[in-house]
Structure 1
Amino acid sequence: MTLVRIILNLMISRAPLNQYYLNIGSHLLKKGAGFKVGQVVKEKHLRENIYRVSVITGLFYNFQEYKVTHTADKRIMKVDEKNR
């Protein structure tokens, strides 16, 4: 959802000011993180149509050090050439 739609929905529902701050802040954090949960970060070709991938499973925000960290899970994926 874009920031304009978030603000319009808050205005229509007559949300309190702290709800504005929470929604706008969470939107900006998601945009500034650079990653999304479920995004493939690395891939390594093992065999024909089989890859080992690292998938983001969690994002963590450290407000004292101004850092965004993530956890990744390694998985094996089989990919068809027509779907790639």
Structure 2
Amino acid sequence: MKPTSVAKPEEPALIAAPEMKRDWRCVFGLHQYDVYKEIDIKDPRGIPVVKVIVLRCRHCGCIRSERIVINDTHYYSN
């Protein structure tokens, strides 16, 4: 009776695929961000004051936000 061959699990490739080079950028903090969402923040009077832009990396999914002040001059007037 012949011994049956047991299927071996595939070993990972030693050479990184081209997609992995982009992921190495993410390891070092060099993400490629896309705009995920834009949010307007308004004061109680309904005037837009701040715009928040949510960014997401297209490779690893890292999320970052940027706040842009749109209109703050009306707060300084008496």
Task: Tell me if both proteins adopt one fold, taking TM over 0.5 as the criterion.
Answer: no
More helix by share: 1
Asked which structure has the greater CA Rg, the reply is: 2
TM-score, normalised by the number of residues in structure 1: 0.29
